[in-house]
Amino acid sequence: MKTLRYNINQQIMSQFVTKACDILDCYEGRDAAITFTLYFCCLISGFYPRKSKLHRSLQRIYKRLDDCRVVLRLYDDIAIIRDMFTYELRPGERNFLVRFLKFAHYISWICYYPSEHIAWLGEMKMLNVDVELWLFYTNFFWSSALLTSAVWNAYVVLLYYTQQGLTKEEQEEEKKNFIPWTAARKAVLATIRDGSEFVVAVHYLPRGYLWASSLTYIQVGLFGTCSAFMRLYALANFHEH
């Protein structure tokens, strides 16, 4: 019995390690893992006084990992343009609203990356630019990309549940546009993921924009950790490596 239990535990552990390695072997997985770690550090730091050594240490880890993500994104521009024209804006998309939101989403990302690069080079004193202004552009386009993604995925979920109320004859007529459960499931996860990150993105805008500059470390960490966890969960369960 002990041997059987040991073998089962060993098999479960082996599967877990294999799955973790598969996730970390891809770019999306490493980025999601780094994001989860940095927001978790921000979350934990919020439970300690700001002048405490542990709070300052966790915030330093948070900022260093955030810098790491900025460097990793330096060459994402080409990939986002490729995705825009080869995957998301293909002629097969019939729904005008989804098509429009996807277009706005990818335009936001295309504007986001150069803005972030310029802000980063300004911080490095490589460019003589207004860093605060370019950081504003970066966070504005980041917020726009997340909002459009969350809205379009929420709309897909709404369409899915609307289709469930159709009769069999109506479902047959709408067969070409029918949304399968697998697509609706991914849309639910994407809505939660991007909606949570949108809350964080708005926080980094200048004061006066919605809830900008008003969240606590715990709130930023909580929403950021939730978003990163959704990414890791989707990669672990629905992503083919």
Residue predicted with more confidence, 1 or 130: 130
pLDDT over threshold 60, residue 240: no
Instruction: Grade residue 65 by pLDDT with cuts at 50, 70 and 90.
Output: very high
Question: Cα 241 vs. chain centroid, distance in angstroms?
Answer: 18
The reported pLDDT for the residue numbered 241 is 41
User: Which of 154, 142, 128, 156 is closest to 198 using CA atoms?
Assistant: 142
Residues 6+ apart with CB under 8 A from 12: none
The reported pLDDT for the residue numbered 103 is 87
Return the percentage of the chain with pLDDT > 90, whole number.
58
Report the alpha-carbon distance of residue 235 to residue 19 in Å, rounded.
10
Backbone angles phi, psi at 81, to 5 degrees: -70, -40
Mean pLDDT of the chain: 86
Predicted structure pTM score: 0.87
The mean pLDDT value for 180-204 works out to: 94
Expressed in percent and rounded to 5, the helix, strand and coil fractions of the chain are 80, 0, 20
The reported pLDDT for the residue numbered 31 is 93
pLDDT over threshold 60, residue 200: yes
